[in-house]
């Protein structure tokens, strides 16, 4: 393996320092361009955005069965096509546009044929390798490493998540912060390997993010930062991983946008995922986004007894929530677990509430007999009438784990069960192919407050523009009883600002329903949308300090703000509204963190609304047409 790593270092240094014949590629509007370079048999590429280089010449290639594809290459021709499609999506908006130019290069390297595909969008570049193997062969092939790299500019800010132990890359639950791109290789106590997504500020409100899309039958991509500001694709498996059949890598994605609004609204990850298989999803009518109560976070007396969980179902019904989540402990504490689970699901159905059931992944991650153990568990859950499973503690993005995730989604889809992954890696747009993945964690969320590692407000602001843009962001928001140093309005605003088609509310529902201090907040929680028709990032937003969002559900708009560590007052234009008269019901910070104030304001569209936020504060306004 040391020889393989030495080969990667040597080849990357060579391809970056030499230049040869280039093939130019462009996005439909030509704002994004890339060059494929084949110089003395070595493959590399570069990327520019609005005429400025954003990725300097960088290595391409894969090492398979100890053969390095990407050196000694010859071209066998290429093809080009335009892709244009629209499809329904969920989260930030309801319809996605997949418009790009695709370039497919047929190459030969060391006697092996393979394809290198690029797709250029108006908001980014993606590439992947397709390596055919012998037809009907069951032989296993070893992917030892990728040469793929990203040579980013020096001296620019880069946002990354940090956790000073090996959990950092197991669950992606790190705190967001920034450094300079030159320092990324040495900033982390755990070493130079970082987890995507990485977000670079290019200047002039231009942004570049690096991640991956369509992660199936492969190991998850990490990024090893180097002194020269380049990033090298890296895997959990130091010695490589095995697979059979055609090797199709995930897409390596370079997102490029003008402004934060385009960044948050990108569809590039789902665009790069296949459409759902109609045989597996002849209908998706059974897939219902919604809100869930959750007993684990508050874990009061009586936790995880059937009687206690029924009380949570009653409170979910009173809140108008669609789901309850039965978390860790039901299998060990219930005396007749399957009978009691069936009774719970029947009781929930009588209240028009559906049930998610928790499971530790390692107890069912056994591929023998086509995952027979997992099949038996999922069959039992479905037979009890549950709506979904919460699968926890994957703690990895190895190929073994990715295969397990995919199989879980497939098996659950066959039984019309939703899936919520926890203790897991970042999403890569899987919910387009498997729309029953209703959400996933892979984020540092409010569970940390329960563990007394309180989430700072600046982390929440940065989340919206980093991990948050990947969708399916199960932060489990709203903790009034344990908010850390944030205000109650900040806690409310996180539920509206973060995007998750299943919103699991952390706070005990009894407090939500009966604490008089929450009287004006309660209606906002009862009507909280779990998906949005439209999302806008408004001027004044700053990854460091403040997030300002306008989000629409039907005819109702919500103006949402999250603040960092400094108080802030500013007027926000309302020109996103249609002409006419509007009414705003506002929840703002009070004099103390656990106090809120409510205002009612009538105004004409276009007239600014004043936002006043305390340090670590927030703001939520419901805006409806005035009668």
Tens-digit pLDDT profile for residues 93-111 = 999 999 999 999 999 998 8
Which pLDDT score, from 0 to 100, does residue 601 have? 97
Per-residue pLDDT band for 4 (boundaries 50, 70, 90) equals: very low
**What sign does the CA torsion over 376, 381, 385, 389 have?**
negative
| Residues in Cβ contact with 514 at an 8 Å cutoff, skipping those fewer than 6 apart | none
Nearby residues of 370 by Cβ (< 8 Å), 6 or more positions away: none
Span 547-580, pLDDT tens digits = 999 999 999 999 999 999 999 999 999 999 999 9
Closest CA to 472 of 511, 510, 496, 441: 441
Token pair, residue 602, equals 């009538």
Q: Domain-by-domain residue ranges, the chain?
A: 2-271, 290-524, 535-625
What is the side-by-side order of every strand in the sheet holding 437-440?
437-440, 418-421, 388-392, 354-360, 323-326, 290-294, 502-504
Q: CATH: 3.40.50.2300, 2.60.40.1180, 3.40.50.880, 3.90.650.10. Which one for 535-625?
A: 2.60.40.1180
- 141 burial (CB, 10 Å; 0-12 / 13-18 / 19+) is middle
CATH of 2-271, one of 1.10.10.10, 1.10.287.3240, 2.70.98.10, 1.10.287.990: 2.70.98.10
Of the pLDDT bands very low, low, confident and very high (cuts 50, 70, 90), residue 17 is: very low
**What pLDDT was estimated at residue 434?**
98
Mean pLDDT, residues 314-333 = 97
DSSP letters, 79-126, are EEEEEEEEEE--SS-SEEEEEEEEEEEEEEETTEEEEEEEEEETTEEE
Both tokens of residue 559?
Answer: 């103006």
- The residues pairing with 389 across neighbouring beta strands, listed in sequence order, are 357, 419
Please tell me the distance from the alpha carbon of residue 525 to that of residue 295, in angstroms, as a whole number: 17
pLDDT value of position 136: 66
- Spatial distance between the Cα atoms of 541 and 458, rounded to a whole number of angstroms: 13
Is the pLDDT at 173 greater than 80, yes or no?
A: yes
Mean pLDDT lowest among 137-146, 187-196, 394-403, 503-512 = 137-146
pLDDT of 137 reads: 73
pLDDT at site 7: 43
Q: Could you give the CA distance from residue 490 to residue 497 in angstroms, rounded to a whole number?
A: 10
Which of 539, 461, 459, 457 is CA-nearest to residue 497? 461
pLDDT at 130 exceeding the cut of 50: yes
Q: Write down the pLDDT at residue 8.
A: 46
pLDDT of residue 134: 75
Of the pLDDT bands very low, low, confident and very high (cuts 50, 70, 90), residue 16 is very low
In this prediction, what percent of the chain has a pLDDT beyond 90?
A: 94
Q: Under CATH, to which class is 290-524 assigned?
A: alpha beta
* pLDDT, tens only, 265-300: 999 999 999 999 999 999 999 999 999 999 999 998
Q: Which DSSP helix (H) or strand (E) runs through 460?
A: helix 457-463
Angle at 399 between CA 189 and CA 136, to 5 degrees: 155
**Residue 413 — φ and ψ, nearest 5°?**
-60, -40
pLDDT at 238 over 60: yes
Angle at alpha carbon of residue 266, lines to 414 and 356, rounded to 5°: 35
Say how far apart CA 219 and CA 236 lie, in whole Å.
Answer: 7
Q: Which segment of 128-137, 333-342, 494-503 scores lowest on mean pLDDT?
A: 128-137
pLDDT tops 80 at residue 496: yes
Mean per-residue pLDDT for 235-262?
97
Contact by Cβ (8 Å): 417, 380: no
DSSP 517: G
Taking CA atoms, 171 is separated from 7, 50, 277, 423, 593, in Å, by: 30, 35, 29, 5, 30
């Amino acid at each position: 393996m040391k020889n393989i790593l030495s080969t990667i270092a040597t080849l990357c240094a060579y391809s970056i320092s030499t230049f040869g014949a280039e093939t130019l590629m462009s996005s439909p509007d030509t704002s994004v361009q890339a060059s494929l370079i084949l110089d003395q048999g070595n493959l590399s590429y570069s990327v520019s955005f609005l005429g400025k280089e954003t990725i300097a010449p960088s290595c391409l290639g894969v090492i398979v069965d100890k053969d390095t594809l990407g050196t000694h290459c010859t071209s066998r021709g290429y093809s080009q096509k335009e892709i244009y499609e629209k499809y329904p999506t969920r989260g930030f908006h309801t319809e996605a546009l997949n418009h790009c130019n695709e370039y497919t290069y047929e190459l030969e390297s060391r006697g092996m044929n393979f394809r290198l595909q690029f797709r250029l969008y108006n908001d980014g570049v993606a590439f992947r390798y397709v390596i055919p193997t012998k037809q009907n062969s069951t032989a296993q092939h070893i992917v030892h490493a990728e040469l793929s790299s990203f040579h980013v500019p020096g001296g620019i800010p880069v946002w990354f998540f940090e956790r000073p132990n090996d959990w950092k890359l197991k669950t992606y639950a790190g705190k967001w912060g920034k450094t300079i791109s030159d320092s990324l290789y040495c900033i982390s106590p755990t070493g130079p390997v970082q987890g995507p997504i990485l977000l670079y500020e290019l200047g002039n409100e231009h942004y570049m993010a690096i991640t991956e899309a369509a992660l199936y039958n492969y190991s998850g991509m990490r990024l090893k930062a180097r002194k020269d500001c380049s990033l090298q694709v890296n895997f959990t498996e130091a010695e490589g991983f095995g697979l059979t059949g055609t090797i199709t890598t995930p897409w390596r994605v370079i997102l490029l946008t003008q402004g934060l609004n385009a960044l948050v609204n990108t569809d590039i990850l789902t665009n790069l995922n296949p459409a759902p298989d109609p045989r597996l999803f002849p209908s998706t009518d059974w897939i219902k986004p919604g809100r869930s109560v959750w007993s684990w976070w508050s874990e009061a007396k009586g936790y995880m007894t059937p009687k206690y969980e029924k009380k949570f179902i009653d409170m979910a019904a009173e809140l108008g929530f669609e789901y309850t989540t039965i978390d860790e402990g039901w299998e060990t504490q219930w005396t007749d677990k399957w009978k009691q689970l069936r009774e719970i699901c029947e009781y929930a159905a009588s209240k028009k509430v559906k049930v998610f059931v928790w499971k530790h992944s390692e107890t069912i991650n056994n591929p023998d007999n086509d995952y027979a153990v997992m099949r038996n568990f999922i069959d039992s859950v479905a037979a009890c009438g549950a709506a979904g499973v919460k699968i926890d503690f994957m703690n990895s993005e190895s190929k073994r784990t990715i295969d397990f995730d995919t199989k879980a989604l497939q098996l659950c889809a066959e039984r019309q069960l939703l899936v919520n992954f926890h203790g897991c890696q970042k999403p890569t747009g899987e919910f387009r192919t498997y729309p029953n993945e209703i959400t996933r964690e892979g984020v540092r969320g409010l569970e940390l407050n329960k563990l007394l590692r309180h989430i700072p407000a600046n982390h929440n602001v940065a989340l919206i523009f980093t991990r948050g843009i990947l969708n399916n962001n199960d932060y489990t928001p709203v903790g009034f009883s344990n908010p850390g140093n944030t205000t109650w309005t900040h806690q409310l605003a996180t539920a509206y600002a973060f995007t998750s088609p299943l919103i699991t509310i952390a706070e005990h529902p009894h407090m939500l329903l009966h604490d008089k201090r929450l009287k004006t907040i309660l209606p906002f929680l009862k009507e909280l949308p779990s998906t949005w028709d439209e999302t806008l990032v408004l001027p004044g937003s700053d990854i460091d300090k403040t997030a300002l969002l306008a989000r629409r559900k039907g005819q109702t708009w919500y103006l949402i703000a999250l603040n960092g560590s400094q108080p802030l007052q500013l007027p926000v234009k309302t020109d996103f509204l249609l002409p006419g008269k509007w009414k705003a019901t506002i929840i703002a910070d009070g004099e103390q963190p656990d106090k809120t104030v409510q205002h009612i304001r009538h105004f004409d569209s276009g007239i600014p609304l004043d936002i006043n936020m305390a340090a670590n504060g927030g703001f939520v306004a419901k805006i409806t047409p005035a009668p």
